[in-house]
Amino acid sequence: MSATSKQSAMTADDIRARKGNQPIVSLTAYTTPMARLMDRHCDFVLVGDSLGMVLHGLPSTLGVTMEMMILHGQAVSRGLDHAMLVIDMPFGSYEEGPQQAFRNAARLMAETGAAAVKLEGGVEMAETIRFLVARGIPVMAHVGLTPQSVNALGGYKVQGRDEQGALVLADAQAVADAGAFSVVLEKIPQRLADQITGEVSIPTIGIGASAGCDGQILVVDDMLGFFTAFKAKFVKRYADLGESAEAAIAEYAAEVRAREFPAAEHVFGDQTPK
């Protein structure tokens, strides 16, 4: 099944042009209703492979498949008119080399209508990014803490402290030189994030980085309080909807058990119009 690509109000060039200007606003989304809620507030919406943990209960993002990304990408696409749709390339779909990356990126874009893909990695992914961009696929890069490399990194640790900061800076410069239109900086020290933002030519999108980045992104279920398995330091809870939802479910369960629901106004009598 193919998704017809639609021209969103925002494009990769628009995002790139925001370097040093008005901050870029972005969130993740995995469903049509959530995409509709954020469409007029966000510049781009990311279908993140975090959906594996947030929606499917996986222990990490490593078990996310192309089919899962396509399914949720199609759902989010239906809810967007203004915001640009970006979709994550899942683990194992691009690391083998540029040709594999192109095949899978082209499939993701063709079947979801996404305007760009995001992939993790710095210096080692520069050749792949250059290959994709040369063939018409806009790429958002992702350096610092790269969740798909959690096993190699030894956990979800802050990256780029002390002498390791030079490596993260080199990664950011490499993806910018390769043609990425923006780069996500995840879980790195504030001073390093500010340095990278000042030195690279493309917008930086922070998540656990710095308010000085050119934009910010959060997992929407984190900031709304739906995902409560753990809370990262860099997450601000703008609502506790998870608690509200559980309270509502508990009230419903109590009323059902007490035979208080459905009440008279919720049922149909013989003479009640449909």
Is 39 labelled as part of a ligand binding site?
Answer: no
pLDDT, tens only, 123-135: 999 999 999 999 9
Is 120 labelled as part of a ligand binding site?
Answer: yes
Cβ pair 114, 75 in contact under 8 A: no
> What is the rounded average pLDDT for all residues in the chain?
94
Structure-block tokens of residue 230:
């753990």
Is 118 labelled as part of a ligand binding site?
Answer: yes
Task: Give the model's pLDDT for residue 4.
Answer: 46
Share of the chain above pLDDT 90, in %: 89
Residue ranges and CATH numbers for the domains of the chain are 12-239 (3.20.20.60)
Task: Give the model's pLDDT for residue 7.
Answer: 52
pLDDT, tens only, 207-220: 999 999 999 999 99
Average pLDDT over every residue of 188-199: 98
Q: CA 130, CA 119: separation in Å to the nearest integer? A: 12
Is 88 labelled as part of a ligand binding site?
Answer: yes
Q: CA 133, CA 181: separation in Å to the nearest integer? A: 9
The pLDDT of residue 93 is above 60? yes
Q: CA 43, CA 23: separation in Å to the nearest integer? A: 9
Known catalytic residue: 186?
A: yes
Peptide bond into 189 cis (omega under 30): no
pLDDT, tens only, 32-68: 999 999 999 999 999 999 999 999 999 999 999 999 9
Q: How far apart are the first and last CA of the chain?
A: 38
The pLDDT of residue 197 is above 60? yes
Is 77 labelled as part of a ligand binding site?
Answer: no
Whether this prediction's pTM lies above 0.85 is answered by: yes
Per-residue pLDDT band for 274 (boundaries 50, 70, 90) equals: low
Task: Give the model's pLDDT for residue 153.
Answer: 82
Identify the active-site residue in 67, 96, 186, 243: 186
pLDDT, tens only, 18-30: 999 999 999 999 9
- Residues in Cβ contact with 14 at an 8 Å cutoff, skipping those fewer than 6 apart: 43, 84
The pLDDT of residue 259 is above 50? yes
Cβ pair 146, 121 in contact under 8 A: yes
Cβ pair 84, 8 in contact under 8 A: yes
pLDDT, tens only, 94-148: 999 999 999 999 999 999 999 999 999 999 999 999 999 999 999 999 999 999 9
